[in-house]
Amino acid sequence: MYYLYYYMAKDLRTVRDVDEATWRKFRAKTEEEGLKTGQALNEALTVWVRSKEKQAKNPDPNHFLKIEGIVRTKRRVRWSEEIDETLYGKGR
């Protein structure tokens, strides 16, 4: 288990369960870009939060029953078969 202790703006932030290899890659990229670790971490967190907010605005079409206005019936619906029976007769 790897703990991240970071001192930002006179506040100590502690994050548990940070993957050490990922943290080292992150630190290396911040040095390559010439950014401070706090700046890069803020950018990464902002991008992550925006992506989650965007997902919340666009509901997953697989969960269409959660969308308001969808017709829900108590019995199994066979609309196409019922229409065929009405148009062409029951014994078709």
pLDDT at 50 over 70: yes
The pair of three-digit structure tokens given for residue 11, joined into one six-digit string: 């506040």
Question: The pTM is what?
Answer: 0.51
Encoded tokens for 72: 């829900």
Longest alpha-carbon distance in the chain: 81
Between 75 and 48, residue with greater pLDDT: 48
Residue 52 near residue 58, CB atoms below 8 Å: no
Q: How many domains does one find in the chain?
A: 1
pLDDT in tens, 10-45: 677 788 888 999 999 999 999 999 999 889 999 999
d(CA 3, CA 16): 5
Res 34: pLDDT: 94
pLDDT of residue 58: 76
- What CA–CA distance (Å, rounded) separates 38 from 40? 6
Find, among 10, 6, 2, 3, the residue nearest to 42 by Cα. 6
What domain range includes position 22? Answer: 4-88
